[in-house]
């Protein structure tokens, strides 16, 4: 076989592997979450608008873009969907933005802890690198065989960590590696 043909075949094999990985069946992804050492990183539920008002302040929901009734119902359905597939509890962390904290609370898989590393840097580009470094450090400290971890955050954070774009209320499943990076296994849209 000629070198060009080998390269082409190798490229096709890699493409097929990546399609298989990203198109993973939702139930298989949920099984992996339940097996331990996995992270489900979810974008907050529906919160109409884009970005946050100029007068935004952490801890003051009146200054933020928040979940609407559709977003609250969506967050509850995510929790119901996960519980119906055997994920009864997780270690739950959320961005300090009210829409993330409320999403995490309504999913209802455990007490919610604020994790500033999950905060948005959409309107704060200076926070991008410090947040991502803190998040990698957090992930590196998590046991690779520990209980499921749920991280509720923002589009920009999920995209920067996983290379995946997700809509409100969608998530990405990752396997912890012990290095601060996590292996992306696939996306979940929770079949709504």
Q: Residue 7 domain-assigned?
A: no
Between CA 37 and CA 139 the distance in angstroms is: 10
Q: Which of 182, 189, 191 shows the shortest CA–CA distance to 149?
A: 182
Calculate the average pLDDT of the chain.
88
What is the per-residue pLDDT across 130-162, written as a single tens digit (0 to 9) for each? 999 999 999 999 999 999 999 999 999 999 999
Q: Are 113 and 95 in contact (CB under 8 A)?
A: no
Task: Return the sign of the alpha-carbon dihedral for residues 32, 34, 35, 40.
Answer: positive
Stated as kind and residue range, the H or E segment containing 154 is: none
State the pairing for strand pair 171-176/38-43. antiparallel
pLDDT at 100 over 60: yes
Between CA 20 and CA 164 the distance in angstroms is: 15
What is the per-residue pLDDT across 63-89, written as a single tens digit (0 to 9) for each? 999 999 999 999 999 999 999 999 999
Q: Residue 184 domain-assigned?
A: yes
Reported as a pLDDT band with limits 50, 70 and 90, residue 115 is: very high
Between CA 175 and CA 146 the distance in angstroms is: 11
Q: Looking at residues 14-43, what average pLDDT do you find?
A: 72
Q: Residue 17 domain-assigned?
A: no
- Report the CATH number at residue 99: 3.40.50.1240
Q: Are 48 and 68 in contact (CB under 8 A)?
A: yes
Q: Looking at residues 2-21, what average pLDDT do you find?
A: 40
* pLDDT number for residue 136: 95
pLDDT at 18 over 70: no
* pLDDT number for residue 13: 38
Length of the chain: 192
Q: Which tops the pLDDT comparison, 34 or 170?
A: 170
pLDDT at 21 over 70: no
**Percent of the chain having pLDDT more than 90?**
73
Count of the separate structural domains present in the chain: 1
Q: Residue 12 domain-assigned?
A: no
By residue range, what is the domain housing residue 134? 24-188
Q: Residue 135 domain-assigned?
A: yes
Q: What are phi and psi of 188, to 5 degrees?
A: -125, 130
């Amino acid at each position: 076989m000629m070198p060009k043909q080998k390269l082409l075949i190798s490229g096709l094999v890699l493409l097929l592997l990546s399609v298989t990985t990203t198109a993973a069946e939702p139930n298989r992804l949920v099984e992996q979450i339940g097996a331990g050492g996995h992270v489900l990183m979810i974008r907050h539920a529906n919160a109409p608008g884009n970005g946050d008002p100029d007068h935004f302040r952490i801890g003051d929901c009146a200054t933020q873009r928040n979940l609407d009734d559709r977003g609250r119902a969506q967050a509850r359905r995510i929790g119901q969907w996960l519980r119906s597939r055997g994920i009864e509890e997780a270690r739950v962390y959320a961005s300090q933005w009210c829409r993330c904290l409320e999403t995490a609370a309504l999913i209802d898989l455990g007490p919610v802890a604020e994790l500033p590393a999950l905060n948005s840097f959409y309107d704060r580009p200076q926070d991008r690198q410090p947040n991502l470094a803190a998040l990698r450090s957090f992930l590196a400290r998590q046991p690779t065989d520990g209980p499921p971890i749920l991280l509720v955050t923002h589009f920009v954070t999920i995209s920067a960590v996983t290379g995946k774009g997700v809509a409100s209320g969608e998530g990405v499943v990752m396997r912890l590696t012990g290095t601060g990076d996590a292996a992306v296994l696939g996306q979940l849209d929770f079949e709504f």
